[in-house]
Amino acid sequence: MSQTLGSKLVAMLEVVYPAVDCAFVAEQLMDAMALVPDAEAPPAHQNHWDQSDIVLITYADTVQQPDEKPLVTLKRFLDDSLRDVISAVHILPFFPYSSDDGFSVMDYLAVNESHGGWNDIEAIAGDYKLMADLVINHMSARSRWFENFRKRVGPGKDYFFEGNPKDDLSMVVRPRTSPLLTPVQTDDGERHVWCTFSEDQVDLNFANPEVLIEFARIIHYYLERGVKIFRLDAVAFLWKEPGTPCIHLQQTHELIKILRLLIEHHTPDAVVITETNVPNRENLTYFGNANEAHAIYNFSLPPLLINTLVTGNCRHLKTWLMSMPPAQMGTTYLNFIASHDGVGLRPTDGLLDEDEKQRLINTMESFGGKVSYRRTADGRDQPYEMNIALWDALKGTAEGGVDHWQLQRFLCAHTIMLALEGIPAFYIHSLLATENDHARVEHTGRFRSINRGQWQLDTAEAALADPLSHHSKAFTELKRLIAIRRSLPAFHPNATQFTLHLGLQLFGFWRQSMRREQSIFCIHNISDEVQQVALTDINLIGTDQWVDLLTGATLDDLAGVLTLKPYQSVWLSN
């Protein structure tokens, strides 16, 4: 007999809170989510996605119009320019915040007034699958909870994680160079709070089950307002134990299972995505046994793909792709090449050597990019991420510098992403082919601002309407590629994928639909020189008629040669 929700919850909670009345906590969690203990579990291993799913990543205020709330402007831009292009939209934190462009949340249950209101969020959720951030690791030092922490009253008094400067914190994995502990004055005297990211982002204390219950209430509130996809921000750092690395601890994985259990009992087709900017092997653990994240960010893809296109050598990308396990049914990868953050370098650990990383960093700096650092356990500062707009990251090669292949290289990167196993996600500045925003970096003093610019709606529309602008050329072709991808069952996020061996200048893989009726050979020239491949090397089935879906050209002689121009891609299908 299958376990009920109540009994499952208690068993999971006992792993995290062995000294607590877990039956009581389970009851509180179910109340917070408006669930009943004997609720039936949704069927396991369900794919809540298909080949038509395309995600847009944007801030609420990336596209603006005078005298209008940005969420209203965003909805108009989505409806007018992207209705047939995307299925889901990830609106980065749209809550009141004190720093980090939204990731230092002051109130989880409010919409930032300058962006709009919950009605605007619900309007977008009515027409697109809405992805929202659950900024779960930390909260603003200017939040009401933290004010209560200082005053030593609830709610908030025991909601933040305190450290002791005398503790051994040498093993703690850091994503920043800022101090880990911040002294704060409270009504009980000085206390040291744990700040993984910045002194304005104080880590929450999940060792207190009350914090988990609060987040169940927050999740329920989001679900009721139409949020379908939850991005668990910085979730790898959730549980802390001095004397350990304080990343990927078992309690963190158990808490993700608990949150997923609650979410899918409330909304069976809701999706949980973990955001863990860490080495590839560590990242893969967040699938659990298909009972943690439904999807994980494919963090190794951006640096490896950019490296491939600026070196004209796909060896590392190919090695990585061959090592990637196919996602179980009911789980998938979220593929992206750019986001609101920089291009992470930790996900290249074990994939690129130090000299190769440095060469990539030097190339990005020569194209106007910046580099952010993190502090290692032995006190050294190590490159953490490269901050650069994707359009500029692909403006040339490591060897030759800036050249005239920028648009072709940019499109090649996205053609690869669109064809890979998983769901493709486009950062709005990639769809618009936005350049580095050096003025914004100057203004904010933060390197990440280089890729967080804002567009006036009329300026964006004019740029996209001008056939001579690179914005229009990129956007028009990306829309065409997306439309082709969305119609092809071989590009279902869980369809079979095998890596092809076509040398170092041609990156190829084979996709086959789940019912085996369609095969697509995706071959990409990742170099700035013409490349040829013998069709006999690809093993095309001789009885089928083969066509390049990108150009409509048919292959008449399967014993012949396929010639690809610099950065050209073909999707050969039967």
**Is residue 466 marked as binding?**
no
**Is residue 261 marked as binding?**
no
Residue of 66, 121, 72 lying closest to 93 (CA atoms): 121
d(CA 369, CA 384): 13
State the residue for tokens 């997306």: 482
**Is residue 169 marked as binding?**
no
Please state the length of the chain: 574
Tell me the three state secondary structure of residue 238: coil
State the residue for tokens 């009972």: 291
Q: Are strands 381-387 and 370-375 parallel, antiparallel or unpaired?
A: antiparallel
**Is residue 259 marked as binding?**
no
Structure tokens at 567: 């950065």
- Residues 6 or more apart whose Cβ sits within 8 Å of residue 294: 48, 260, 271, 272, 273, 330, 331, 332
Q: Are strands 569-573 and 519-525 parallel, antiparallel or unpaired?
A: antiparallel
Residue 432's identity, in one-letter code, is L
Active-site residue, from 133, 233, 392, 548: 233
Residue of 528, 529, 538 lying closest to 508 (CA atoms): 538
428 φ, ψ (degrees, to nearest 5): -55, -35
Q: Are 211 and 205 in contact (CB under 8 A)?
A: yes
d(CA 331, CA 162): 35
d(CA 179, CA 427): 31
CA angle, residues 548, 554, 556, in degrees to nearest 5: 135
The secondary element (H helix, E strand) that includes residue 498 is strand 496-500
Catalytic residue list contains 233: yes
Angle of helix 5-16 relative to helix 250-266, nearest 10 degrees, comes to 160
Cα dist. 451→51, 300, 389, 430 in Å?
28, 19, 5, 10
Structure tokens at 357: 């990383």
**Is residue 100 marked as binding?**
yes
**Is residue 253 marked as binding?**
no
**Is residue 167 marked as binding?**
no
The secondary element (H helix, E strand) that includes residue 307 is helix 301-311
d(CA 74, CA 77): 5
d(CA 265, CA 49): 18
Alpha helices in 436-469 (DSSP H): 438-444, 457-465
124 φ, ψ (degrees, to nearest 5): -70, -40
Half-sphere exposure (Cβ direction) of 95: Cα atoms closer than 13 Å: 22
**Is residue 375 marked as binding?**
no
Binding positions are: 100, 138, 231-233, 340-341, 448
Binding positions for substrate are: 100, 138, 231-233, 340-341, 448
Active site residue ranges: 233
